[in-house]
Amino acid sequence: MKACLIIGPAYALHFEEPYNLFKEGVLRCGCSLTIHLTDRINCCWYTTLNPNRPEKKKLILTKTYNPKDYPRYDNYDAIESKSKDIPTDYEGKIGVPLTFFKYASYLPYEIVDKTAKLELNGKRLFERLIIRRKT
């Protein structure tokens, strides 16, 4: 793929083609921003280039796993986590919000799946990326 820079909606990973390119490591998130036109629109810079983020913007993971803080989904074999709270010592599958893609290029996790039908304590959740530690 040629070098490119695309400004698009933050929810673009809901669509199959951007998601596949991102999962394959071809597409990365350069940065995100909010555009104020008539409405607020959350946008991201999707790129094939190395985003070279400054260190202060990188996410540092410090949490460890315990079942109390990381509930299991009702209908999928994975635990729920926020991107900033991913447990560093957990070896199984972890469900995180789609905003995880901002950090995926430098964290030691791979995207396993994307699902829109997760339930937690009987409630339907927004779409999640399913990740696991790279081996």
Interval 41-87: pLDDT, tens: 777 778 887 656 554 467 889 999 999 999 999 999 999 999 999 99
Q: What is the CA radius of gyration of the chain?
A: 15
Give the C-alpha separation, 100 to 84, whole Å: 9
Partners of 132 in beta bridges:
110
Residue 57, amino acid: K
Q: Which DSSP state fits 116? A: S
Are 101 and 6 in contact by the 8 Å Cβ rule? The answer is no
Partners of 94 in beta bridges:
79, 131
Quick one: average pLDDT of 105-121? 88
Position 57 scores a pLDDT of 61
Query: How crowded is the C-beta side of 1, counted as CA atoms within 13 Å?
Result: 13
Report the share of the chain in percent with pLDDT over 90.
39
On the 0-12 / 13-18 / 19+ scale of CB atoms within 10 A, 66 is: exposed
